[in-house]
Amino acid sequence: MSRYGIKEVVESIEPISIIKLPNYGRYPAKDVVEKLGVKDQGDKEKLDEATRIVYREEFYNGVMKENTLFPGLSVNEARERTIKALSEQGAWGGRMYELEPRKVYTRSGNPVIAAVIKDQWFLNYGNPEWKAKAFKCLNSMRIIPEKYRKNFEDVFNWLSMRPCARKRGVRHETALGSRLDNRVPE
């Protein structure tokens, strides 16, 4: 900051606190960073851990402060109401799902290898007709416990294109995921 001549400007910025969190001060992120002993931005592992702690604590225990649109509500409820309000105004573009940058393993413990395959075939689960049929089936089912129905609905809503064949990891011709012939029949 010093070399750019902005140190004083940056240090004069006062963050706006919008979530009250029990057992934390006005700025929970600052408390967690200090507790973990983060020295600077290069301390990536500790910063990632601090982020996980603060997000988890705020999501499950946080309450919106008086300077927000939904004072007194839990963070989760305020988030849902914000989405609804933005949707009603036509300003909500949809949910975005972010994958964690970590290694993924199969049930047998082998690493999953994701690769782009030339001429890959995809199943289009985003097709409105498929979604309508999937929801129709789901609505005819009894889910126990019922609270898990939302998990299915969420997956149906975000599920889109999925590869249906692969070139790696196939041990024999009949294995699930064996390469499909995507050539047009003559």
The one-letter code for the residue type at 120 is Q
In the block, residue with structure tokens 């002993």: 37
For the chain, what are the domain ranges? 2-88, 103-186
Task: Give how far Cα 61 sits from Cα of 21, 54, 147, 182, Å.
Answer: 6, 10, 20, 51
What is the tens place of the pLDDT at every residue in 10-53?
889 999 999 999 999 999 999 999 999 999 888 999 999 999 99
Rounded Cα distance, 12 and 24, in Å:
22
Rounded Cα distance, 59 and 54, in Å:
8
What is the tens place of the pLDDT at every residue in 79-127?
999 989 988 888 877 766 666 667 777 777 888 776 666 666 777 888 8
Q: Is the pTM of this model over 0.75?
A: no
From 51, 100, 60, 54, select the one nearest 79 (Cα to Cα): 60
Tokens standing for residue 24: 């934390």
Burial of 182 by CB count in 10 Å (0-12 exposed, 13-18 middle, 19+ buried)? exposed
Sign of CA dihedral 79, 58, 96, 147: negative
